[in-house]
Structure 1
Amino acid sequence: MVKVTRWAPCPGAVVEQDPWIPLDASWEVDRDRQPLYLMISGSSGGYLEVRVHPESGQLMSLTVIDLPPEGGGLDSVPEPELLGDVVPVFDISEWEDVDPAIRSVRKTVDLSHVRLPEGELLTLGGAVTAVEASCGPVVVGVSHQSELTHFWFRSGSTES
């Protein structure tokens, strides 16, 4: 998986749902460039499109194209470090050898989701979460190995 290298300030994020797109989140970051794409397929189903700023590496948006299968929630582990009003910044070196016309990297990981009264949880991989970073209605989890572990869309945070 593409590594998270640091965090950048984030003034806000917006989450939307509609009948055709299960979840779509956009972070308020600079949108002056054509993004890089991280296409994530679930090993048992599900498909995500992550857009990353090509210069800063900041997470721009996440679109759940195909909702992954339902699975368990987060395991009971020590409380992760909590950060507020920040967005992940990815190591964009993985895109260096990608055809500039394609601008995408493809990964396959275990994906699952859980719908709870508190919100919608989308898990990636299964690594233990070390840091949770919130921006607006979305919380992003990152492991000790700097990989994405989950996206948490808090209740009342989506627009239909």
Structure 2
Amino acid sequence: MVKVTRWAPCPGAVIEQDPWIPLDALWEVDRDLQPLYLMISGSSGGYLEVRVHPESGQLMSLTVIDLPPEGGGLDWGPQPELLWGVVPVFDISEWEDADPAFRIVRKTVELSHARLPEGELLTLGGTVAAVKASCGPVVVGVSHQGELTHFWFRSESTEV
């Protein structure tokens, strides 16, 4: 998986509702440049499109194109560190070998989805989160190894 290397300030994020797209989140990141694309296929189903800023590496958006199969919640293990008002920054060296016309990196991991009273949860790979980064109504989980563990689309009244 593409690694998260650090965090950048995030003024906000929004969740967009669309009848044709199951889940969509946009982080308030500069959008003046063509993004890099991380296309994540679920080994048992599901398909995600992650857009990454081509210069800063900041997460720009997540679009769930095909909802993964239903799964359980998260196995938190020790309580993850909680960061407020930040967005993940990816190591963009992975895109160096990508076709410049498409700027796409493709990965396959185990994906699952759960609808909870607190919101929608997407899990990636089953790795335990070491950090939860909250910006607006979206929380991104990252492991000790810098791998994405989950995206949590919180209900408006939900605490982290």
Q: TM-score, with normalisation over the residues of structure 2?
A: 0.96
Kindly report which structure 2 residues correspond to 1:142-153, keeping only aligned pairs within 5 A, or say none. 142-153=142-153
Given residue 92 of structure 2, which amino acid in structure 1 is its aligned partner?
Answer: I
**Aligned position for 1:45:** 45
Give the ranges of 4+ consecutive aligned residues of structure 1 lying more than 4 Å apart after TM superposition: none
**Aligned position for 1:86:** 86
Cα deviation, residue 76, structure 1: 4.1
Question: Relative to structure 2, which stretch is displaced further, 103-112 or 75-84?
Answer: 75-84
**What CA distance in whole angstroms lies between the structure 2 residues aligned with 1:8 and 1:76?**
24
Question: Relative to structure 2, which stretch is displaced further, 10-19 or 132-141?
Answer: 10-19
**Aligned position for 2:110:** 110
Aligned CA distance change for structure 1 residues 87 and 76 (closer, same or farther; 3 Å): closer
Cα deviation, residue 150, structure 1: 0.2
- Structure 1: 5+ residue stretches without partners: none
**What CA distance in whole angstroms lies between the structure 2 residues aligned with 1:39 and 1:98?**
12
**What CA distance in whole angstroms lies between the structure 1 residues aligned with 2:67 and 2:76?**
24
1:18 matches 2:18: yes
**Aligned position for 1:128:** 128
Given residue 107 of structure 1, which amino acid in structure 2 is its aligned partner?
Answer: K
Quick check: 2:76–2:128 contact (8 Å CA) kept in 1?
Answer: no
Given residue 59 of structure 1, which amino acid in structure 2 is its aligned partner?
Answer: L
**What CA distance in whole angstroms lies between the structure 2 residues aligned with 1:115 and 1:142?**
20
**What CA distance in whole angstroms lies between the structure 1 residues aligned with 2:110 and 2:74?**
13
**What CA distance in whole angstroms lies between the structure 1 residues aligned with 2:153 and 2:19?**
17
Cα deviation, residue 82, structure 1: 0.3
2:130 partner SS:
strand
Cα deviation, residue 156, structure 1: 2.9
Number of aligned pairs? 157
1:94 partner SS:
helix
1:72 matches 2:55: no
2:88 partner SS:
strand
1:2 matches 2:16: no
Cα deviation, residue 32, structure 1: 1.2
Given residue 136 of structure 2, which amino acid in structure 1 is its aligned partner?
Answer: G
